[in-house]
């Protein structure tokens, strides 16, 4: 641990010196990076809203489409299933074809999927396609877009932003996804007061998808900036995809991060998907479930924002991640207890807020940490495998938690007929085990920051030598 602290202090001191030296070198930042960041934020939020449109109103969705609870859950679960095979292609696409192509493709998939969802309720659609089949087809297209969207922040931060803004840019872009989850938790219960409002929900969620598709198609014109913002941007994607994967598999710190943080992603995915069903059985309304989901995200964004700024200044990636992971595990234990109590809405809301604050804060920092411990492997590859791990574990957790529920009624469409006591305890156990494993075994050096420090100092020395060589003949003549 002392070695990690010394390493972090050295990197931070060098980074502070390099911030001044970089101004003398041939690196440049462009204002258009903020527009690309805006596009990613809107696209990320839109995709998250489409993903969890039905989770806060699972009971009304089941009644409107005449579905079982399992069928409603598959509207969200399809995102996790599709992400596993598509994730590998996504990492290759981002590192090979570039950010622009990936964002435009994902925006069109996202918009087309949202339109198909809306078309599923129209009466003039053939009976074989109407309702659930076309609705699932739309969800599948949106799911195809999700890996491209979620893996874009690390790539954007690496090739468009300077070293002292990377963690903040990654945080803003990454937290736009939980912001979309927040909107879904707020607006879905507000819009769907009864099952007859489901068509209105589908129409409203199509609007942001269409807007961001237009912005991405027309506004993003460059694959990379004309001049890189940092030395590491020049080396971005320096390792071929398959060679990079082989190196990552042999990288012990990265594999620990992939396992533990992937489990965290899976737990948070299952929590967002199943929250309404967990609270419903204890008599809590959809409005309270939506509020808890909203607080879960709002405090998560707040925590990520504050820690992102802190990490950008101090470079203490490891310390911040370990502390946050432990606090998130404690919050998961508290949720497992209070969620099984009746008439404790305030306690449930507070615990959900703390779970989000400590858990969501890990996401952007861990993605940056993945790049640091795996450099010079491409950012999309290192972040992509963690994303795929999270989706795989998310599927396992959701299916496992559903299997561990206990029936309280025979009606399969009655969503409040299952006891979630055992699943919530198992969720807390997984979260605690992941935190312990990460705190004890994860240690790494910051490879990208060290490489940038060496490169910046070398270029500064070369420029100083050039100036001295030019000045020497003039002194001799004098």
What pLDDT is recorded for position 118? 92
Tokens of residue 212, six digits: 């961001």
**Residue ranges of the chain with per-residue pLDDT less than 70:** 1-26, 127-129, 231-241, 409-415, 455-456, 458-460, 462-478
With CA atoms as reference, report the closest residue to 205 among 188, 230, 189.
188
What pLDDT is recorded for position 128? 65
Per-residue pLDDT tens digits for 182-203: 888 788 888 887 888 888 999 9
Q: How far apart are CA 275 and CA 410, in angstroms?
A: 21
Q: How far apart are CA 248 and CA 241, in angstroms?
A: 11
Q: Which residues contact 193 (CB under 8 A, 6 or more apart)?
A: none
Tokens of residue 447, six digits: 């490879």
Residue with tokens 């533990």: 260
Give the DSSP H or E segment for 179: helix 166-191
Query: DSSP letter string over 204-267?
Result: HHHHHHHHHHHHHHHH---SS-SS-SSHHHHTTT-S-HHHHHHHHHT-HHHHHHHHHHHHHHHH
Tokens of residue 179, six digits: 């912001």
Residue with tokens 């198909």: 116
Q: How far apart are CA 353 and CA 33, in angstroms?
A: 32
Count, residues in the chain: 478
With CA atoms as reference, report the closest residue to 321 among 360, 354, 362.
362
Query: DSSP letter string over 31-46?
Result: THHHHHHHHHHHHHHH
User: Which alpha helices (H) appear in 315-408, and where do they start and end?
Assistant: 317-338, 345-360, 362-374, 379-403
Q: How far is CA 346 from the centre of its chain?
A: 28
Per-residue pLDDT tens digits for 25-80: 567 878 888 999 999 999 999 999 999 888 888 878 888 888 887 788 889 888 88
What pLDDT is recorded for position 17? 45
- Cβ-in-10-Å burial (0-12, 13-18, 19+) of 40 comes to buried
What pLDDT is recorded for position 77? 84
Query: What is the Rg, in whole angstroms, of the alpha carbon atoms belonging to the chain?
Result: 24
**Angle at CA 131, nearest 5°, toward 125 and 134?**
75
What pLDDT is recorded for position 477? 58
């Amino acid at each position: 641990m002392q070695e990690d602290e010394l390493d972090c202090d050295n990197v931070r001191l060098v980074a502070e010196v390099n911030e001044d030296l970089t101004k003398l070198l041939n690196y440049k930042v462009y204002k258009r990076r903020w527009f690309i960041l805006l596009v990613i934020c809107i696209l990320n939020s839109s995709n998250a809203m489409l993903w969890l449109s039905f989770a806060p109103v699972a009971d009304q969705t089941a009644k409107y489409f005449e579905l079982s609870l399992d069928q409603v859950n598959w509207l969200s679960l399809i995102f996790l299933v599709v992400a596993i095979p598509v994730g590998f292609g996504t990492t290759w696409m981002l590192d090979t074809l570039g950010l622009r192509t990936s964002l435009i493709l994902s925006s069109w998939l996202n918009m087309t999927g949202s339109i198909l969802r809306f078309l599923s309720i129209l009466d003039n659609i053939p009976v074989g396609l109407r309702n659930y089949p076309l609705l699932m087809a739309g969800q599948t297209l949106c799911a195809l877009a999700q890996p491209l969207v979620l893996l874009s922040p690390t790539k954007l931060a690496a090739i468009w932003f300077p070293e002292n803004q990377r963690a903040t840019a990654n945080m803003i872009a990454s937290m736009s996804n939980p912001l979309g989850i927040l909107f879904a938790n707020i607006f879905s219960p507000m819009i769907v007061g009864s099952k007859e409002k489901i068509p209105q929900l589908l129409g409203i969620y199509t609007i942001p998808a269409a807007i961001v598709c237009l912005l991405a198609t027309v506004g993003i014109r460059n694959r990379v900036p004309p001049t890189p913002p940092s030395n590491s941007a020049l080396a971005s994607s320096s390792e071929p995809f398959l060679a990079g994967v082989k190196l990552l598999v042999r990288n012990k710190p990265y594999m620990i991060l992939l396992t533990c943080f992937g489990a965290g992603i899976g737990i948070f995915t299952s929590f967002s998907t199943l929250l309404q069903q967990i609270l419903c059985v204890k008599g809590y309304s959809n409005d309270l479930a939506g509020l808890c989901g909203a607080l879960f995200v709002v405090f998560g964004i707040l925590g990520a924002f504050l820690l992102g700024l802190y990490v950008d200044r101090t470079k203490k990636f490891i310390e911040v991640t370990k502390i946050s992971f432990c606090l998130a595990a404690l919050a998961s234990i508290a949720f497992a207890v209070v969620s099984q109590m009746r008439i404790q809405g305030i306690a449930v809301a507070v615990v959900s807020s703390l779970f989000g604050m400590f858990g969501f804060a890990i996401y952007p920092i861990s993605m940056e940490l993945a790049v640091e411990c795996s450099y010079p492997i491409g950012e999309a590859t290192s972040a992509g495998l963690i994303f795929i791990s999270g989706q795989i574990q998310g599927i396992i957790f959701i299916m496992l938690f559903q299997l561990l529920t206990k029936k309280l009624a025979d009606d399969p469409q009655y969503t409040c007929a299952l006891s979630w006591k055992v699943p919530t305890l198992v969720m807390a156990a997984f979260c605690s085990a992941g935190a312990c494993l990460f705190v004890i075994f994860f240690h790494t050096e910051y490879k990208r920051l060290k490489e940038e420090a060496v490169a910046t100092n070398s270029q500064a020395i070369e420029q100083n030598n050039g100036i001295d060589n030019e000045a020497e003949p003039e002194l001799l003549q004098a």
